[in-house]
Amino acid sequence: MLTEVTALRYLDPLRAGGSVPGIVETDDLGTYVVKFSGAAQGHKALIAEVVVGELARRLGLRVPELVLVDFDPEVAAHEPDPEIQDILRGSAGRNLGMDYLPGARDFEPGMIEVDPVEAGRVVWLDALTGNVDRSCRNPNLMVWHGRLWLIDNGAGLIFHHRWSGAAGSVLKRYDLSDHALGAHHPDVAAADAALAHLVTPELLREVVALVPEEWLTDEPGFDSVEHLRDAYVTQLATRAAQSAAWLPDGFATAEQLRQTAAERAAATRAGRPSWLQEVPDLSGRPRTR
């Protein structure tokens, strides 16, 4: 099971993403980036963080330690932003913490060398889990002590937002052409050969069992929590067993990405009033943490 800790101090919100996680100190003397159940995606994002993150860890990728954080909104009573307070008040109970990596920086192209093998394994995991959010504009990767760490996996498991169509998407090839590691020549075929056979029903049951029961109790169409856990296992195991159907290819080159960014910026400026035409587009700046 994931370690359970209790929040003692709410330090700061992280405003870079829509879910507005917060930096929290806990009773194990740890500091964590906490994703709150009261945020927009609710428990679905936390479920994906656990399943994708712990699957990644078992496949040899680096993911900060995940813990369950018992959160009392009173520890954040000093937070002045009313919108953040709404999230915190709706997050009493168990939330998800990710070990805070002091001094870590958001990944940027050219920051470190990423070999094609590691790049291929990250891309393969994202293709398996339907995570299209690890893009050049939003890498969801950190660099800590010169190594790559996967964060913010809550956009994965896209199928669980509409279970009625999950079976029909089991062979879906997601568009990962602008993946954050696409310019590092990811060897997806080698990753598939090394990883696909490891994603067994047994491994998936172990990972899905880490999701707290209360995060799974409000899903319509399932008569029990165990039925829902089995659905996650079946979806991912079937997908892994038929990986040849969805392996990604055709990653954008650095020049193509620059061209796309320039076109996007030009389109943004074109839609502004004349007095704002010369203001630079800062939307593509990397996030800081």
- Asked if 96 and 184 sit in the same domain, the reply is no
Confidence of residue 288 (pLDDT cuts 50, 70, 90): very low
Two tokens, residue 69: 């954080």
Q: For 188-238, what is each residue's pLDDT tens digit? A: 999 999 999 999 999 999 999 999 999 999 899 999 999 999 999 999 999
**pTM metric for this prediction:** 0.88
Contact partners, residue 179, CB within 8 Å, separation at least 6: 123, 126, 134, 135, 136, 186, 248, 251
- Asked if 114 and 235 sit in the same domain, the reply is yes
pLDDT over 70 (residue 24): yes
pLDDT at position 287: 45
| Domain C-terminal end among 79, 103, 127 | 103
| Domain C-terminal end among 103, 120, 140 | 103
Among residues 136, 137, 138, 124, the alpha carbon closest in space to that of 174 is found at: 124
- Asked if 66 and 195 sit in the same domain, the reply is no
Q: For 136-191, what is each residue's pLDDT tens digit? A: 989 999 999 999 999 999 999 999 999 999 999 999 999 999 999 999 999 999 99
- Asked if 157 and 220 sit in the same domain, the reply is yes
Structural domain contains residue 265:
no
Distance CA 188, CA 191 (A): 5
Give the residue-averaged pLDDT of 267-278. Answer: 64
pLDDT over 60 (residue 55): yes
Is residue 69 within 8 Å of 24, Cβ to Cβ? yes
Structural domain contains residue 7:
yes
| Domain C-terminal end among 85, 103, 121 | 103
Two tokens, residue 138: 């939003």
Structural domain contains residue 126:
yes
- Asked if 152 and 193 sit in the same domain, the reply is yes
Distance CA 97, CA 124 (A): 25
Among residues 61, 98, 66, the alpha carbon closest in space to that of 198 is found at: 61
- Asked if 94 and 150 sit in the same domain, the reply is no
Q: Domain range for residue 228?
A: 106-245
- Asked if 96 and 143 sit in the same domain, the reply is no
Structural domain contains residue 289:
no
- Asked if 235 and 129 sit in the same domain, the reply is yes
- Asked if 237 and 122 sit in the same domain, the reply is yes
Structural domain contains residue 252:
no
- Asked if 198 and 114 sit in the same domain, the reply is yes
Q: What domain count does the chain have? A: 2
- Asked if 82 and 156 sit in the same domain, the reply is no
Give the residue-averaged pLDDT of 84-113. Answer: 95
Structural domain contains residue 90:
yes
Structural domain contains residue 277:
no
Backbone angles phi, psi at 24, to 5 degrees: -135, 135
- Asked if 8 and 31 sit in the same domain, the reply is yes
pLDDT at position 65: 98
Confidence of residue 107 (pLDDT cuts 50, 70, 90): very high
Structural domain contains residue 17:
yes
